[in-house]
Structure 1
Amino acid sequence: MSTPTHHRLLVVDDEPDLRTLYELTLLREGYDIETAGCVEDARLLLAEHRFSAVITDMRLPDGTGLDILKQLESEGRPEKAIVITAYGSAENAVSALKAGAYDYLTKPVDLKQFRAVIASALNNEAPPGVQEPIQGAPANATAHTAAPSEKSRSALARLAGNSPCMQQVRVLIDKVSRSMAPVLLWGESGTGKELVARAIHDVSNRASQPFIAVNCGAIPEQLLEAEFFGFRKGAFTGATEEREGFFQAANGGTLFLDEIGDLPLAMQSKLLRAIQERAVRAVGATQEVQVDVRIVSASHKDLQAEVHAGRFRQDLFYRLNVIQITLPALRERLEDLPLLSQRILERIAHESGMTGVPQLSLAAQSALLSHRFPGNVRELENLLHRAVALSTQHILEPEDLGLATPAPSLEKIEVEVAAPIHAPGVSPAEAPLPTDLVAHLDQIERDILVQALEKHRLNRTAAGASLGLSLRQMRYRMARLGVQVSDQGVVLGERFDPDTDTDQA
């Protein structure tokens, strides 16, 4: 019998024989066990005790395992939940994961897998009997392991931006990191899908284990099986030694499958089996090896459309798309652009050994805000790398960025806004002079601010940069002229002097 672990587990199943089997298996691992035969009995035990984990069957006489999951969620309890579902019931498994289960098992339960899943949930060492992966690293250069020294600069810290869409991404990262539920990342190329995958890994209890990133579209089709599952010596011509695959290398950690939509259908079928069985068989081997891997996948393609077109397996799509995180395009969160640019410049300076961090001039910021960024954050990084490499000054200008269309100047906007106030057929030279020059100029400036805010979707940073103003200068002028931003749009209110009215400033 194993050394006691001081973990107390609750097992819920209405079949006495299975309850006894699970109890005996877990007692041998050193766990303290409580059992229940229905939802009501489980609730009574939950009211009396705290548990490290709850293992529950899906079908119970007075409800389902989902009822127990909902109670754990509503009470904010810390117990990890593992759900046992009927064989082939993918819908129940997906429902359980979406309801907050850490992981699931299918009947008939493989006891070796049973012990491995519970050990993973409790963040323990893998139990005896689970075969360790063979030594060595995958040959494909698209896979790599995050070095522990990089932990201080985690991927989560690099997800710069305070826009609502990025705040939602962070909330989802925190939520999904607590379970084994597969995550599908969707977004345009260059939106940072691998960064989000790393962030999910960094904040999970797998952070100290390998993170293996694989570009599915970069591997020749004939090598896919060997790269994913490994191979034995002599399995094929050129196999002069044993080598582990991506699944074995990621054992205990996270496997990130980028551009999953590029996998051919034959490989999709083999991947589905590996995910369902939690086991892989190397090319040339006769036995499968159990693996404990968290799957995070990503694609810029619409996989639902790929399913309808017959290019992607529907069952694999449902297995991968338990939780979907959509990453916004950069043009949809321009308010994050200044902070993103600053973070990237800081990283470039650090990697290049520069003594200071280059800065963007207001004109350069305006040029960036006017750009559509079809390549998203990756394109922004390339632009800034280019600017730092070509510029001989500490301050980066629009010409350093190499953008074709310069941002409109303040003078141009003033002319465009001021021109309509002249009567038809009257030239500017013949227009009557204003009786109150200060009020007249204030009205022109107010019109310019309103136009800039509406053009940049009420984003004060972007609107100010397009006029050559810093955010502080923009806020000052808006306050002085009574220009306010609300959910309904631009609102014109009472003017005041921020220099004298400190409460409102």
Structure 2
Amino acid sequence: MTQTKILIIDDEPDIRELLEITLGRLKLQTRSVGTIKDATEILKKEDFCMCLTDMKLPDGDGLDFISYTQQHYPQMPIAMITAHGSMDTAIIALKAGAFDYLTKPIDLNRLREIIKSALNLNTNKVDNIPLDKQFLGENPLIQTLRDQVNKVARSQAPVYINGESGTGKEVIAHLIHLQGSRAKQSFIAVNCGAIPSELMESEFFGHRKGSFTGANQDKIGLFQAAQGGTLFLDEVADLPLNMQVKLLRAIQEKSIRVVGDQQEQPIDVRILCATHADLAARVVDGKFRQDLYYRLNVIELKIPPLRAHKDDIPLLANALIKRAEYNVELSNAAIEKLKTYDFPGNVRELENILERAYTLCENGVIQPTDLRFASITSIEVASSPILQQPIQPRTSNSVVTRPSTTNLDHLPDLSEVDNLEEYLELIERKILTQALDENRWNRTAAAERLGLSFRSMRYRLKKLGID
């Protein structure tokens, strides 16, 4: 490490001496004081790359000092030193703006990790962030969100990202990682709802060979894979209660135990999590542990739905087209039509709509007629009348009577639909397959039967993986 100066604030001479010796061995310069008053005076005269401060000081509270430095020295990270077991105090410090925290007695290895992260804060972050990792938008709501991301990226505090499906929660998580001190380390994202409950402990913490039936070799867990970096837990609300207990311990103790191992091993991982569910309501319902919610929700970021910043639709749409390398452009009329839609699937739905429009458009320009929005009619047409009745063969002298799409009695109950996109894809797959069977898998005839262009038919079959 290069020559750098760190401010130490503690009223115990032994602690100050221990910190001075330890940091001196790391080739770091130090200045130490015993009161907040002395600290504020020395900050006026000298520059420091970091500060270590005790929580309880003779002339004030460490939290007050954090608030003071957040106003006057926002670029200087502060690590709070708290009493052993004072996790609640540590969380309060993180909420106030502390970079990280240490507990007494001070673990010197943990101290070195914090120092290293703090010194990397302005050198390790990625300056040129790829387009697919940026969170675009000029609406004040998005600008405020980006400001919040910039601020929390300078901390090691856990962050809870709340937003509807398709709003870009993982993009925000990755952006926090890229703008923080861990940018050059791993970013590991996992969907908690996609892991079978019986495999969760092994997936998160790893296992030793022979620890259970089928464990034929050692396995590295997600925490180990993210060591030194960031672990993003998407859809964290889907974690079963028994796994919530183990995750809570890992966060509190900053250590894990591999399945089949007797010893715990320390971890240095920043935790980010997200869900589209109301996590606070899950706590009230007894489906999510309150203590884990308190640990994860140190800082909360709320992502607005796309319908709340429709003025960003042209910017987002053109960026998505550029990223996908579609050689097309949006007509002004198409942009205006996009602005009339509420996008229940948010940016992800906008991306899907543009992909379909690219396939359907002619002459390299997307027109309003190329934009296909999900609607209640889609559900009506695709509900029981068509699913329960085969498509009637068309003959030269026959008239096909189509089922009515205006009878609301056939609408599925909301309890029957867990995921709208998956539900509609299931219905579309069934109708396309029936049409292909009817026409002996002649795609041109099947497309004509359904009133589709051959190009649109080919796109739909490719999207659904129907050969």
Same fold (TM over 0.5): yes
- Deviation, 1:378, is 0.6
Letter in 2 for 1:392: E
Structure 1 SS opposite 2:184: coil
Structure 1 SS opposite 2:93: helix
| Correspondence list, 1:69-468, <5 A | 69-123=66-120, 152-154=128-130, 158-349=134-325, 357-403=327-373
Distance in 1, Cα, partners of 2:108 & 2:300: 31
Distance in 2, Cα, partners of 1:331 & 1:403: 14
Contact 1:113-1:290 within 8 A present in 2 as well: no
- Deviation, 1:326, is 0.5
| Alpha-carbon spacing, 1:151–1:26, altered in 2? closer, same or farther (3 Å) | closer
Distance in 1, Cα, partners of 2:374 & 2:179: 41
Q: What is residue 473 of structure 1 aligned with on the other side?
A: none
Letter in 1 for 2:90: A
Distance in 2, Cα, partners of 1:188 & 1:274: 28
- Deviation, 1:312, is 1.1
**Number of paired residues?**
372
Distance in 1, Cα, partners of 2:103 & 2:350: 46
Contact 2:132-2:323 within 8 A present in 1 as well: no
Distance in 2, Cα, partners of 1:5 & 1:392: 60
Letter in 1 for 2:308: E
Distance in 1, Cα, partners of 2:308 & 2:182: 32
- Deviation, 1:152, is 4.5
Contact 1:227-1:245 within 8 A present in 2 as well: yes
Give 5+ residue unaligned stretches, structure 1: 125-147, 350-355, 406-505
- Deviation, 1:205, is 2.3
Structure 1 SS opposite 2:324: helix
Distance in 1, Cα, partners of 2:366 & 2:74: 51
Give 5+ residue unaligned stretches, structure 2: 376-467
Q: What is residue 441 of structure 2 aligned with on the other side?
A: none
Distance in 2, Cα, partners of 1:270 & 1:171: 33
Distance in 2, Cα, partners of 1:19 & 1:178: 25
Contact 2:133-2:171 within 8 A present in 1 as well: no
Letter in 1 for 2:38: D
Distance in 2, Cα, partners of 1:347 & 1:5: 40
Distance in 2, Cα, partners of 1:155 & 1:172: 19
| Alpha-carbon spacing, 1:379–1:151, altered in 2? closer, same or farther (3 Å) | farther
Distance in 2, Cα, partners of 1:153 & 1:41: 41
- Among candidates 19, 32, 36, match of residue 33 of structure 2: 36
Distance in 2, Cα, partners of 1:87 & 1:65: 16
- Deviation, 1:313, is 1.3
Q: What is residue 130 of structure 1 aligned with on the other side?
A: none
Rg larger in 1 or in 2? Answer: 1
Distance in 2, Cα, partners of 1:258 & 1:157: 16
- Deviation, 1:273, is 1.3
- Among candidates 23, 27, 34, match of residue 26 of structure 1: 23
- Deviation, 1:106, is 2.3
Q: What is residue 434 of structure 1 aligned with on the other side?
A: none
Distance in 1, Cα, partners of 2:44 & 2:128: 39
Contact 1:217-1:259 within 8 A present in 2 as well: yes
Contact 2:129-2:178 within 8 A present in 1 as well: no
Distance in 2, Cα, partners of 1:92 & 1:404: 48
CA displacement 1:171-219 (0-9 Å, x = unmatched): 1111111111111110000000001111111112222111111111110
**Percent pairwise identity:** 50
Distance in 2, Cα, partners of 1:282 & 1:165: 43
- Deviation, 1:230, is 1.3
1:58 and 2:55 aligned: yes
Distance in 1, Cα, partners of 2:129 & 2:41: 44
Contact 2:206-2:220 within 8 A present in 1 as well: yes
Letter in 2 for 1:58: M
Q: What is residue 3 of structure 2 aligned with on the other side?
A: 6
Q: What is residue 381 of structure 2 aligned with on the other side?
A: none
- Deviation, 1:105, is 1.7
Contact 2:149-2:176 within 8 A present in 1 as well: yes
- Deviation, 1:21, is 2.6
Distance in 2, Cα, partners of 1:76 & 1:40: 16
Contact 2:131-2:323 within 8 A present in 1 as well: no
Q: What is residue 48 of structure 1 aligned with on the other side?
A: 45
- Deviation, 1:168, is 0.8
Structure 1 SS opposite 2:6: strand
Letter in 2 for 1:219: I
Contact 1:254-1:294 within 8 A present in 2 as well: yes
| Alpha-carbon spacing, 1:74–1:49, altered in 2? closer, same or farther (3 Å) | same
Contact 2:234-2:274 within 8 A present in 1 as well: yes
Contact 1:387-1:400 within 8 A present in 2 as well: yes
